[in-house]
Every structure is written in C-alpha cells, then in structure tokens.
Amino acid sequence: MLVALTRSVSPNLGNCELEYFSRQPIDIALAARQHRHYEQCLESRGAQVICLPAEPDLPDSVFVEDPALVLDEIAVITRMGVESRRAEAATLAAALAPFRPLRRIEAPGTLEGGDVIRTGRTLFVGLSHRSNRDGIAQLSALAAPCGYTVKAVPVRGCLHLKSAACQLGDDAILINRAWVDPSLFAGLRLIDVDDAEPWAANVLPIGGSLLCSAAFPATRDLLGRAGYRTEPLDISELAKAEGALTCSSLIFER
C-alpha cells in the first residue's frame, strides 16, 4: 500500500526561510485549504495519508520532503542545510521508524530530500546551497549496500535539484536546462519546461498521472501533448514559501 506522510501547515509559515523569492504575505488559512486539497488528491490516487500535527515553532515544517529520504529498504534522516530547519527531523524520524530502518546524515554533511531524484536504482543528488559534497558522499555510503548508485548534480539558480528537474514516473525527466547540466541525465528522455515558466519543473507523479502547479499552464499543456495525464493544483500560498508539489509529502510503499 502506498503511504503519503504529510504535516499540517505551521501557523508561522510566513516566517519561512527564503533564498530566491522576495517575502510576501501568506494567507495561512488558504495555505491550509490548499494543503488539504493536495492531501485529498494523494488519497484519490490510492495513498494512505498520514498527517502529522503542525509545528508552530518550525515555519517550514510542512515541507516534509527535505528532512528525510525514503528508499525501499531504509529511510535516511537528513541534516538540513539551514540550522533553523534541523529540528523538523525528530518527529519525522519517529513517524518513519515503524516503516523503515533509519540511517542518518551526520555533520559536516548536509543533505535535503528536495535535492534527490530517484530513477530505478540511481539517485541523482543536487549539489546545491542545501546539500554539500560530504552529505552526498554519506548518502552514497548508506545507499550502496542496498544497490543504489549516487550521482552528484550541480545546481544553479534555484534552491533544490527538484526545482530544476523532476522524474515523470518513467524514463523521462522534466527539466529546466538553465539550472542543471542535461548531460548528467544521459540515457533518460528529457522534456523541457516552457521557456516562460522556469519554475515549472517540479511535478509529482502518482497514480498514473502528474500533479502540476496551476501556475504553469504552458508546461502542463506541453506534458499533455507528450502523452501524460496531468492535474493542476493551486499551491499559490505554499509557493510563496518556495514550496512546490513534491515538497509537502514523503510517498513510499508500506
């Protein structure tokens, strides 16, 4: 059975960490409604949603993808690239412990789940502001006994690798070539985001379709023409916190 681990929106989301966006007022009530609709979409595609309580003192904590990486065999509790977010890992680790043996990234390594794309037994890991070489090396050592190969992918112009590229659920990657070297994905089929929508690469494949941000209709049309079933979701308030579709859940087989 597919499990989707989520966390309710912090009432202090407006105090989130920002690197690339200017701070804007966030409507917390609207953000909570958008997040609940997101969870309903996951449920409608066969996932059992397990929603953790909000963490008022941790503004970014709705973005559960970053503090942990769940593989088939293990769950890796990451060490976040900004100190203000590191406390998010404790309750996620407790929630994941019944499902997977836990492993951890230790100092001086940093790693965030938003920097990891899995295709088969390959983990592409963004070398970004949030994930460093030591963290990537530690992940490689933890994942190698389970049969995974880790490949570092330098990221420029955006927060995480999954802002620049995302797996489409098969052998294809949706990519913004301005932010990542496409040659590093050799052997995979690359589909480019629309030129006018540089932030459109983050999509979430689940249940035979792609959840796409409603803010990027041209890229969604492009994916439709390529044969993908898509569904637009309004995540406007979460996006103000540099959140995207993959950020708000950890999805794995029970």
166 is catalytic: no
Q: What is the pTM of this model?
A: 0.96
Q: Which residue stretches of the chain have pLDDT < 70?
A: none
Provide the CATH number for the domain around residue 127: 3.75.10.10
What phi and psi, each to the nearest 5 degrees, are found at residue 105? Answer: -85, 130
Q: At residue 149, what are phi and psi to the nearest 5 degrees? A: -105, 135
d(CA 53, CA 134): 32
Identify the domain containing residue 167 by its residue range: 2-253
Residue among 16, 35, 160, 212 flagged as catalytic: 160
User: Which burial class, exposed, middle or buried, applies to 25 when counting CB atoms under 10 A from its CB (0-12, 13-18, 19+)?
Assistant: exposed
Task: Please report the DSSP string for the chain in residue order.
Answer: -EEEEEEPPPTTGGG---SSS------HHHHHHHHHHHHHHHHHTTEEEEEEPP-TT-TTTT-TTTTEEE-SS-EEE---SSGGGGGGHHHHHHHHTTTS-EEE--TT----GGGEEEETTEEEEEESSS--HHHHHHHHHHHGGGT-EEEEEE--SSSSHHHHEEE-SSSEEEE-TTTS-GGGGTTSEEEEPPTT-TTTT--EEETTEEEEETT-HHHHHHHHHTT--EEEE--HHHHTTT--TGGG-EEEE-
| pLDDT tens-place string over residues 76-98 | 999 999 999 999 999 999 999 99
Quote the number of domains for the chain: 1
146 belongs to the catalytic site? no
> Could you report the per-residue pLDDT of 4-32, keeping only the tens digit for each?
999 999 999 999 999 999 999 999 999 99
- pLDDT in the model for residue 169: 82
